[in-house]
Chain A
Amino acid sequence: MSFNVSIGYTTSDKNALDKNYTELVSLSGTLINDTNVVNPSILLKCSAEDIAKANYMKVDNFGRDYFINDIMALTEGTCVVTAHVDVLSTYKNQIRANTGVIARQENKWNLYIDDDLFKVDSRTIIQTKQFSGGGSFTVHPHIALVLVG
């Protein structure tokens, strides 16, 4: 069974849910035996040079986006692309609908929580601060005499 494969590239962070994607070519491909939709190897009718700059692909029939791991030329005009599913991009909408306990965040944080990633210079800051607005003991001692009778 053949299916359409969109071959292209992305420059986004691998861990980003939303990836920019530029399609290079749309081809017809077939799934090679003993592979699966998570880690597929797809036979494409094209030369390896045509898709040598690709690192990302989309297969609508599988409903998944993939990182291209390798491109191998079999014969002239055919090549095999091995890939791994990009679960973050594929399921981004469903992922975003979930709720979780957030350990670290770029924009929403609480800096009063202990954070072992803070780096501290060993040159400790040592401050001394005086009191103001009050008195102090005097240089001149004061003589107190206590008597009975």
Chain B
Amino acid sequence: MLYTKVPCIFENQPIQDYKFLIQCDDELYNRKPIDGSAVYLLNPSLEGYDSLESVFETIFTKINIQPADFNEWHESTSLTNSRLLQLVNMLGSNFKLNPEYMFTSGDLYTGVSDAPGVPDRCVVGYNRLDQNSIVASFSQTSPFIHAAFMQEYPNQQFHMIYNLSVLPEACINDGVFDLEVPLDFVTEDPEDLRKWIAMLSIEVWQNSSDFKYNCVVTLTSFAFNMRAISDRYDTKSVPNLYDTNDPNSTNQDPTNPGGSGDGDTNSDRIPVPVLPDDDMTASGSVRIYELSVGELTAFMNYLHSPNWTEAIIKTWQNPIQGVVSLHYLPYPMVPKGGSEQITILGVPAGVGANGTPVNQWQTINFGYCFIGTVKNNYLDYAPYTKVQIYLPGIGIRDLNADDVINKWVKVQYNCDNVTGQFVAFILVGPTKADTDMSVKYTFSGCVAAPFPISQNNWGNTYIAAATLAAGALAGGVATAGNAVAASGSGAGAASAAGAAGETEGALFNAGAVAKRTTNIGNSLTSLAKPSITRAGTVSGTTSLFGVRAPYMIIERPNVQDFKDFNKIKGYACGKTFKLSDLSGYTEVERIHLTGLRATATEINEIERLLEGGVML
């Protein structure tokens, strides 16, 4: 997701960057025509568009303007002072959320008019940034928009236009805004409304003591004020634009010395990839069967028939060369047809040598597991809570507690029945809904247990098993090293682990122990407990003996509850408060006392007491 600041442009004013996000409902984005029929935009620059009423209904609700008031070109409606204030407050309160981007009133009203008597021509608005947010932007209206109003209301004293716009992300990101909606544009695809841009202008002005407002919807490509933004939003002419998405950017945002990011904490969902839409069996040259034990016996009898006549024929025919693989899999394969007689190199394998053709790829869903919190505090998360997952055919893997705590975890395998290899996807989400689940971890493994069909084949199987055992042994040695390292302390742990050949990991462990000790003193000594590997590699033949379903292992600190601890010592706060807003036990971390006619000695004592804890 690329977030880029939207520049604020005022005529005769330097370009400034302004940015903040407000949340809005999906309806703004997922807008569709009300009647569900084709969308006709005829001469859109001159008329409003009914279907977009739903688009802005949310906005109307927020600013307390009824939809019924909407969508009449240049039709004014009286706006009471209170409603105007609600409108201004709604927009203004959002500015207060990010005061560093807040407009000063002076800037807001410094637009210079080409038309005499037009006091204010500045526009404040929002541009859509993604599905859940729109970004504030500011623009400037051209004088002739106001000309009609000026003739009708020559005594107007206040004039402001709010533009609430829906823009394609690309427009905001790269500033390119060359979209031209053709007249008589016709589409049946509601998605087109995402491409073609719409804008709601809410124009507010004051005539003597009456406030008026006017709502207009146009296509933004015909809205010159938004075009003005794009015209001016040219990266070549604005070299100091700060790209928050470019870690190599050396451009410093002149208005933002730091401490305020773009507020982007959203994530894009990563779904499990669908299985390949074609496999080896598609050509017919490769066939995969699932066999029962009886069918296997019949097939083996065919291969190793004691009949010497058949043996002579097979010496010439050599059907065993047609066998690519014969192996156990610990799951039922998905059939693609009924049982049929096996043919090998074009020759039927004999009576009873049947098999059920199966697909090469398939998915196994192992279900869901919710990892809750226990204390609803920081100890529920890493590094204090440790989470591991056992995956059949793989073994145990570490998970970051921050990824999975208070979330649903789903395990799904995408398997290849020819080789027994698979990819295990661990999805995490706030709910079990597929639309909320996102892939967080991916591991691979193999669960095929080779079935020997000749001496040569068995030899390969034995070598593979021996290799696997050696690997497991090496893993065990490394595990021992880790355990020694984790149970030691400081440099000793590091050196012990280094001797075990796990230098990098052990240094990390030692560092982690030191860090925890620094952070939390001696209170949470359990954090220094060793991390023990609970399982080695469980794959291939060994997967047949391993636990057959995934499970989670959660290690949680056993926190002791103190009654009324908050009244005695308080809990960590970490926020700024006016002390009169607080009551009870309070420790102040930093304060600069003002307004006291006390001696320096007394002020120092007050600061010391506040830092030590007082009862407010």
List A residues at the B interface (Cβ < 8 Å). Answer: 13, 15-18, 37-38, 85, 87-88, 90-91, 94-139, 141-149
Contacts and interface: CB of A to CB of B under 8 A. Distances in A.
Contacts of B559: 118-121
B316 interface: no
Interface of B is mostly: mixed
Contact of B285 (A96, A125, A138, A149): A149
Contacts of A146: 286-289, 323-326, 418
B577 A129 contact: no
Interface in B371-413: 371, 374-379, 381, 392-393, 409-411
B602 interface: yes
Given A101-B575, A116-B519, 8 more contacts: A15-B615, A103-B570, A113-B572, A115-B571, A119-B559, A144-B288, A148-B287, A149-B322
Given A102-B577, A129-B554, A147-B344, A109 B331 contact: no
B306 to A, nearest CB: 22
B331 A106 contact: no
Interface stretch (B47-55, B96-104, B588-596): B588-596
Contact of B368 (A124, A133, A141, A149): A133
B591 A147 contact: no
A142 B330 CA distance: 6
Contacts of B571: 104-106, 109-111, 115
Contacts of A87: 598, 602, 605-606, 609
B575 A102 contact: yes
26 contacts: A91-B606, A94-B593, A97-B595, A101-B589, A102-B577, A105-B573, A106-B570, A107-B566, A109-B572, A111-B376, A119-B562, A126-B554, A127-B552, A129-B554, A131-B367, A132-B369, A133-B432, A134-B364, A134-B366, A134-B368, A142-B332, A143-B293, A144-B326, A145-B289, A146-B418, A148-B322
A122 B528 CA distance: 10
Contacts of A112: 377-378, 381
B350 to A, nearest CB: 14
A144 B323 contact: no
A28 B352 CA distance: 120
Task: Give the most central of A38, A120, A124, A135: most B CB within 10 Å.
Answer: A120
B478 interface: no
A94 B324 contact: no
Contact of A128 (B331, B368, B553, B585): B553
B594 A124 contact: no
Interface stretch (B8-16, B236-244, B543-551): B543-551
B498 interface: no
A97 B524 CA distance: 37
A115 B569 CA distance: 11
B589 to A, nearest CB: 4
Contacts of B599: 37-38
B346 interface: yes
A107 B286 CA distance: 70
A110 B574 contact: yes
Contact of B346 (A132, A133, A149): A149
A111 B378 contact: yes
Contact of A101 (B556, B591, B602, B612): B591
A137 B377 CA distance: 37
Contacts of A136: 366, 392, 548-549
B578 A128 contact: no
A85 B602 contact: yes
B554 A127 contact: yes
B286 A148 contact: yes
A87 B322 CA distance: 95
B582 interface: yes
A135 B367 contact: yes
Contacts of A119: 523, 559-560, 562
Contacts of B375: 111
